[in-house]
Structure 1
Amino acid sequence: QYYFSDINLNRDKFMKELMTKDDGWITFEMLLTFKRLQSLSEDKAVIVAALRKSETNLLVISDDETKVRRSPDKPLPEITEEYTKELNERTLHLKGFPLETKLDEIMTFCRQYGIVESVEMRRHMKSKIFKGCIFVVFAAKESAEKLLTADEVKYNGKDLLRE
């Protein structure tokens, strides 16, 4: 879902270009060339099953399960001052994850607070090594507030800084 999210599409020219073709459909074959998806699974059946379980209804899978597209019912929002304010209210910066933590582990951790739209693992520019901090965007501002106001937030026994 990340590739089709509001967050990603507002900055990913390649995905926007792909979505202008074939009525927005993108093959799983193409998506499986993306490193972020490969880090989660390279098995199309696993990806299709995960998308079918999604609570966001952001994506539609083709009947033959070879392609996926953003739901026509969920158009990309216009970037306005109000939208940016609302997005900021749903976005948190978390710091203190072990450097070897994987994306799927972070997603699982964040989901205990609510539906997650996006997780960006911050990496060093040259080495691409994870810095131990993330930006997480929740579907609802209440989920972000729940995490932000929790008495303590620990990952594998270690306190996380939240802002």
Structure 2
Amino acid sequence: MRLAADAPTPDWDSFEFAFECADLEVRSYYDTVTGEVCVTGPFEDDPGERERIDADPGRYLEIDRLPLREQFQWMERFALEEVGDGRLRERLLRALGGRGSFRRFKDALLADPQERERWFVYHASALRQAIEQWFAERDLAVGAAPPWTRVAD
């Protein structure tokens, strides 16, 4: 991800939401001029949003949802590489088999609040890396680094 003083600063929180939005009727777009994330779909805040995007398609880049396969791989890697308790690791890996695996994985973590919290940190880190990669793949400059990359004074 490149930094440039004249580039917009993305709305990082909205970008995270766009990447994870599971509603198939919702589409999210990055406004390359303002850094805003525009959302279209049945529950649009601004009914003119779709028209603005269609009127200037070069300005807006669609933000694809994070593929379920990639999210599944995060869960698998977490279980295999991060979980020290062998019994919990096996429960998590079993949970990943078949339909409903996302729910079963999260349910299996309920028994261990400390590991559950570690999962949320791991997931947030993987999500943020995917967002940074999205910008890098498109060679898009940003006006400010995401808040999660800032170093404390």
- TM-score relative to the length of structure 2: 0.21
Which structure's relative contact order is higher, taking Cα pairs within 8 Å and 6+ residues apart?
Answer: 2
Decide which structure has greater strand share: 1
Higher-Rg member (1/2): 2
